[in-house]
A and B are shown apart, each in its own frame.
Chain A
Amino acid sequence: MANRSSEAVLQNIDWVLVLLYLVLVTMGWFNIYAAVYNEEYKSIFDTSQSYGMQLVWIVTSLFIAFAILVIDGEFFPKFAYVLYGAFIFLLIVVIFAGVEVKGSKSWIGVGGFRIQPAEFAKFATNLAIAKYLSNINIKFEKLSTKLIAAALFAVPALIIILQNETGSALVYASFILVLYREGLSGNILVMGLVMVLLFIAALLVDEGVLSIILAVIAGCSFFFIRFKLNNALIVGGILLASVAFVYTVDYAFVNVLEPHQKKRINVLLGKEVDLKGAGYNVNQSMIAIGSGGLIGKGYLNGTQTKYNYVPEQSTDFIFCTVGEEWGFVGSTIVLGLFVLLLLRLIFLAERQRSTFSRIYGYGLASIIFFHLAINIGMTIGLAPVVGIPLPFFSYGGSSLWSFTILTFIFVRLDAYRFQILR
């Protein structure tokens, strides 16, 4: 029985997705080699260097992937809450017993090596949300449903913020896209976008001036809609909320954010020029990518990355190596592969007969998308410098294992789709 089931699994695997995974991981490995290339340790298999270690992570990831594929398909929905609970517990433990690395207490030591529970909490959260929303008795239209779903990802996010890993926490916002797919009003997305714009505006423009501008916009809106009491109340309400938001942002920026966070945001907005401090990473990263030109400097010829001008060039800034050594052509290929992966995930998610699998698929796509958006945006100066890895590419065991687990649970669910009736 078990044999027949695993044979079926291998037959039903979506090999396109698996292939994309393998291609990205391999490209990542070669780019890590180029980024930390060391004349004295030329072998790419040398485990004293991070490229050798990355190979270890890749091989172990493949074992993990295989293990997931042979697990019974029913396992994941069944144990979703258990896993979620376990990881929430682990996240809390880390706050008290974690190892501090570069100012954030998000690592936990297990024997000789360290892992980052925040990375693994992503798949558990994804499973829990899928489990909750796929319950037949749940009505998504109800506010309580939305709030509980939001709480499922907000709780780990908040714990991670307490670990001082703001970047990792930010990724949990990606579940909003999943909720949108399941019926959340599109206005929430628009509101989110407006809030981001207002946030930027609030920091760039004096809040008094901004309030007047908002009032004028509100006044002008009556040229397009009919002036009725009802409409007037709505416009007034939105105006009031916006102004309140602007003042809140301003207050929060001054009183809540840490100095280094403020600096990063100011540098990003162009309010501060600091080529040696907060702006150094981004500036060097943009020099690396920008100097790549159309076809790049060639493999192992990137001076910016090879000679350590870009900090963290094998982890958070791995895309610099792509941009510098492979140029615009290479950057387009890598980003193109990610788009293919994301579209493939949407296609696969949509063909699922089980709501659980579909939601899980969208969760996976959204998490990868958010990582991509923030990571690449950061290297080209469009997003603040928050340390989150580029999926499949960046050096690091926790990150690679986490994305492997996330991805192959979906491969397993997808392969299992015919055995689910509803």
Chain B
Amino acid sequence: MNLFSDRKYVISAIFITLVSIFLIRIFYIQVLDNSYKLAANDNALRHKIEYPERGVIYDRNGKILVYNEAAYDLMVIPKRVKKIDTLDLCKILEITKEEFITRLKKLKAQKFSSFRPEIFENEISLETYATLQEKMMKFPGFFVQARTLRKYPLKTAPHALGYVGEVDKKLMESNPYYRMGDNIGLSGVEKSYEIPLRGQRGVKIVMVDVYNREKGSFEDGRYDTASVLGRSLTSSIDADLQEYGEKLMQNKIGAVVAIEPATGEILAMLSSPTYDPNLLVGRLKKKNYPIMVMDTTKPLYNRATMAKYPPGSTFKLVNALIGQQEGVINESTLFSCSRGFHFGGLTVGCHPHASPVNLKFSITTSCNSYYCNTFKNILQKYPKTAIGFKVWRDHVMSFGLGKKFPVDLPQESSGNVPTIKYYDKYHGAGRWNAITVISLAIGQGEMGVTPLQMANFCTVIANRGWYYAPHVIKKVEGGKIDTTYTKKRYTTVGRAYFDPVVEGMRNVVIAGTGRIAQLDSLTVCGKTGTAQNPHGKDHSIFICFAPMDKPKIALAVYVENAGFGATWAAPIASLMMEKYLRREVKRPEMEKRIMDANLLPKKSDWIAKKTKG
């Protein structure tokens, strides 16, 4: 036997030891350390997100208000970029060579990502896209990826429709659905109907090889989710009426809201100055948004739902109704007016007219004295002012004033109907009475009403005592609108008390302050108002509905700094009614006078001149 044959054990031991070390190491990386599995998935799996198209929004007649238009991003796979004509590409993209190199370097520096497509330039223009497509073969590593952007063919109703934008960090944290770069509705209908509009994003997991070529779906698509198309919406807005209103309101500040009384559907909602909603899409938004925010005329501000104005004389209608309900006046109650209401040392002036005044005539001539007496009597009916005030206030609130509607627009102000607490704080508890707050009788003072609330109040009168919560979306594809919009809401004033008020409003148009709103054979009912403006010229207000029986449209028009309600607000309302009810306007002179009028404050330099889409 060989002298060293025992060494076979040493050699066997060496073999076994090394293989054991290998197995321990393999066990460690395969079973104990999870990071390699993640790295393998990171290599080979691509989560391809399929963005469904956002829902289209139609107007009430089927005209498209918003749709989607293709946009193109220039993508790059950094590692594939080889021997390209950098100068030519820079020329097409209108960037410097240094900029090009810096961007590419930044993308290349990302770990493991050199074979992944990254955005090199987003939303290239159509011309750039066309030039690029022709020369694409010359730029290996680059390709163009399509996505969609919102497009507004009629350029109308930006405040109601709202805009979309990229999600921010805060939103992504609060809602895990959204990811970096996703779009979301940020205002208007885009925001309130975000979920049906956006649909459901789909995710497809595909496997790719080292050259980023797709190799099929992962585990036969077991983890894939299909995308669900965004649902289309039908708005109650009448695009023709909306556009027409916008034309009438050009070069004016203010708001118009038109409602179909029978349904609560908003036919038009415009805030002036308005803007072309296409200016707030994608790349343009970055440029235009800050300019609009800074503009003194606040074009982004939706005055229709957010601006609080004193209702002025239109509010007398509310007091006429409450007075009857409370039994302090009836159709034949008379009050005298000698150029106003006088009590102690206080005088609320009035214009010269025949006296005494009954209910109908008080509306026709808008007599201040009549309503100061009525309001005083309502509050004094009760032993304490506070009790009387509360009764009065509850009646007012039942008209939809002083609180938010469940309206399907996210930005809305609740307006303001002052509270007992407010007066107690201001004057001291028990130290104020009807006379102290007498300005409420004629809609001045602390009252704040939004144009939307005003139009709805007009709807209440048109319906003789009830309303549906106003809304701008009447139909969601494959679904119903919320039941809050189909629930009738009644005021606390009895049906019978509305007739003399409506007749009074009819007389306003036939023989009173609103004669300018007369529209041939149509039985238009209206009321003028002037809201005192401590900062300048008064605001012009007009509310109206038509026809008198079975009304089809109720309107509230506000024109800032325009003075008496009959001068500007009433003709605008009248023209819009004509447009809506007759589909054709046959008063070209009046139309021209309104459209040409510029009532903007002198200093203001309207935005449209600065931002050209």
Contacts and interface: CB of A to CB of B under 8 A. Distances in A.
A286 interface: yes
Contact of A291 (B21, B23, B36, B114): B36
A238 interface: no
B111 to A, nearest CB: 8
Interface stretch (B50-58, B207-215, B478-486, B487-495): B207-215
B188 to A, nearest CB: 46
Contacts of A358: 2
Given A308-B209, A332-B23, A377-B22, A291 B12 contact: no
B43 A350 contact: no
Given A180-B7, A380-B22, A309 B43 contact: yes
A307 B208 contact: yes
Nearest to A329: B30
Contacts of A130: none
B30 A293 contact: yes
Given A308-B209, A331-B30, A335-B23, A350 B8 contact: yes
Residue from the set B4, B22, B33 with the largest chain A CB neighbour count within 10 Å: B22
B40 A288 contact: yes
A194 to B, nearest CB: 16
The size class of the interface chain A forms with chain B is 35 or more
Contacts of B36: 286-287, 289-291
B21 to A, nearest CB: 8
Contact of B44 (A182, A309, A327): A309
A339 B43 contact: no
Given A181-B4, A335-B19, A304 B25 contact: no
Contact of A287 (B12, B19, B40, B45): B40
Interface string B191-214: 000000000000000011111000
Nearest to A177: B11
B121 to A, nearest CB: 25
B18 A304 contact: no
Given A287-B36, A293-B37, A338-B19, A304 B44 contact: yes
Contacts of A349: 8
A294 interface: yes
Given A372-B19, A382-B25, 18 more contacts: A180-B7, A181-B7, A275-B111, A286-B29, A290-B40, A291-B40, A307-B43, A307-B209, A309-B209, A328-B30, A331-B30, A342-B15, A349-B8, A350-B5, A350-B8, A365-B11, A376-B22, A380-B29
A307 B29 contact: no
A287 B8 contact: no
Given A294-B31, A328-B31, A350-B8, A289 B26 contact: yes
B16 interface: yes
A288 B111 CA distance: 18
Contacts of A342: 12, 15
A308 B112 CA distance: 15
A82 interface: no
B30 A339 contact: no
A104 interface: no
A350 B10 CA distance: 13
A130 to B, nearest CB: 14
A372 B19 CA distance: 9
A275 to B, nearest CB: 8
B30 A182 contact: no
B43 A304 contact: yes
B210 A309 contact: yes
Contacts of B45: 303
CB-CB nearest 8 A-B residue pairs: A290-B36, A291-B40, A307-B209, A303-B44, A290-B29, A308-B210, A291-B37, A287-B39
Interface of A: 177, 180-183, 186, 275-276, 284, 286-294, 303-304, 306-309, 323-324, 327-328, 331-332, 335, 338-339, 342-343, 346, 349-350, 358, 362, 365, 369, 372-373, 376-377, 380, 382
A377 B45 CA distance: 28
B35 interface: yes
Contacts of B22: 335, 376-377, 380, 382
B215 A307 contact: yes
Given A303-B207, A304-B44, A323 B30 contact: yes
Contacts, number: 121
B33 A346 contact: no
A332 to B, nearest CB: 6
A279 to B, nearest CB: 13
Given A180-B11, A339-B15, A346-B8, A303 B30 contact: no
26 contacts: A181-B7, A181-B11, A183-B4, A186-B10, A275-B111, A275-B112, A276-B114, A289-B26, A290-B29, A290-B36, A290-B39, A292-B30, A303-B40, A307-B44, A309-B43, A323-B26, A328-B26, A328-B27, A331-B23, A335-B19, A342-B15, A350-B5, A358-B2, A369-B18, A372-B19, A380-B26
B3 interface: yes
A290 B4 contact: no
Nearest to B38: A291
Contact of A293 (B2, B31, B41): B31
B49 to A, nearest CB: 20
Residue from the set B3, B30, B37 with the largest chain A CB neighbour count within 10 Å: B30
Contact of A183 (B3, B18, B31, B41): B3
B215 A346 contact: no
Given A346-B12, A380-B22, A294 B30 contact: yes
Contacts of A369: 14-15, 18
A287 B36 CA distance: 5
Nearest to A372: B19
Contacts of B3: 183
A182 B25 contact: no
Given A181-B7, A290-B33, A304 B209 contact: no
B144 to A, nearest CB: 26
A313 to B, nearest CB: 11
Interface in B337-366: none
A275 B33 CA distance: 19
Interface in B131-170: none
Nearest to B35: A290
A307 B207 contact: yes
Nearest to B30: A328
A293 B29 CA distance: 8
A181 B8 contact: yes
Contacts of B4: 181-183
B15 to A, nearest CB: 5
A372 B4 CA distance: 25
Contacts of B37: 290-291, 293
Contacts of B41: 291
A335 B20 CA distance: 9
Contacts of A276: 114
Nearest to A373: B18
Nearest to B108: A276
A291 B25 contact: no
Residue from the set A181, A294, A323 with the largest chain B CB neighbour count within 10 Å: A181
A211 B37 CA distance: 42
Contacts of A327: 30
Nearest to B40: A291
B75 to A, nearest CB: 21
Interface string B224-241: 000000000000000000
